[in-house]
Structure 1
């Protein structure tokens, strides 16, 4: 038999309201009226206690945890209360367990008339003629059972379909059971080719708490990779100048005018661009190698252009 909501420490949620609109979450949200409970929940499951602005329970605090799966303790099949409910403008119109009425008192135990197949029940509910699931699970957090009982409420048809297996598994444990309460990701493609993804609640019975290994801690956030350092370029030591070198240009390129004149004389080039091309290509290009120099200009034209800009201010010293 589930405990009353007044005795519960808090509630687990799969969503919240954001600016008045429903928002699905990727990790559990916990609400509570106890600030100490909120702080303890955050210490075990991650997140920070904050005022409850997400609605859904009317409790004062909420914790947006970092866990999509939480190890819990269920006290047998009685920890799961399930019913089918159809609401009207004045309250409950139909309440049953899928086979018999649960209310009103004069109808309790009588056949409810719901279709035996779950798919047909879903169709009736979709058309507004039949009840929808209402499942309330009461549990304790395995890492902190002293906090008291929490509960999770869901209208999931998927959990309804697995309810019989869940109750059988809890019955076999014969006592408190360690379970995982998980927001399981579902991804599929419709017949129309549209991708759909959502999360459904799943309770997995693991066994007696004495035989179940402790819940592993959440994975640590990976440390950001260090920014790659700039590669180190091998440089040749500058030759000892025999004469004062020319001042540094606005492009931060050091130019030795005397060495450039000597290079032009040795290489047989007639202008600064040809001298740079020939020097960079490590080819001795005389006057008779004009065709080769033309090819080199095309291959390293960009380098020569940059060098030409750097040497533009040196024309007067070379003539």
Structure 2
């Protein structure tokens, strides 16, 4: 019981860290890009990953965690895939309207469910699927405005959906099958993600902004915001791997839509963004969907625990659909920092 309570506390901490850091970096980057005119998102992401790797390297030297070797081919392909998915998401935003980009992000959840069902044999109950539908409906109402389609933008969006889903599924799968912690996997893969984005980022950003990131005039305040953004990104990247490893890719996407609702609320409160009754209704519907998702998953988890304990007293089988605030202790949780 103590181990279970400690693990659940770790999950709650990971979720809180993910939400707090993600909302903070969105506000920071919005000020940097909208107010200060630094719009080189892909290159900035490569700097985020470089700082993340350097921070983890220092933590390793200070013995905060132990490095665990992972097969070079696995970590290389994993890092490259994640780097490509980030670049494709940025390109999708550049070639599509905001509304269509939001639809792209919404499509990640059902596509992840489809992939996990077809290729990993995971089962999602009708109640879980219903709660996810309510969630997606609410986020769609709150965030989707116009839907302007174009061929190039549609192809980029489809590629972004596929690479993002596969990358997040692999994040969860690698941690569990290779028994590595989120920190160990992030430390091994961050250099490859940073490298692919550092090489392609300036080109992607120039296509989107028609400006050269290396010819940009950097003022002290812009450098300060870039540094702040990179520091916050360390917690964003760490918590992303932590949440996916402790829960599931679907739960992480549900959490991501909670962040979207929070960003809309903070944008209205702190940055005075336009806010309508449609935004409010959509956020409320999304909150209902998230509540139902957590409730149904919690019930499924408890039911599964009772069956497993009665059948195998020494083992508790992992549940595929992990709720937002309830999960199972697994091997990699013992290696985690939280």
TM-score (norm 1): 0.26
Q: From the two aligned structures, give the one with the greater strand fraction.
A: 1
Q: From the two aligned structures, give the one with the greater helix fraction.
A: 2
TM-score (norm 2): 0.25
Which structure has the bigger radius of gyration? 1
Q: Which has the higher contact order (CA 8 A, sep 6+)?
A: 2
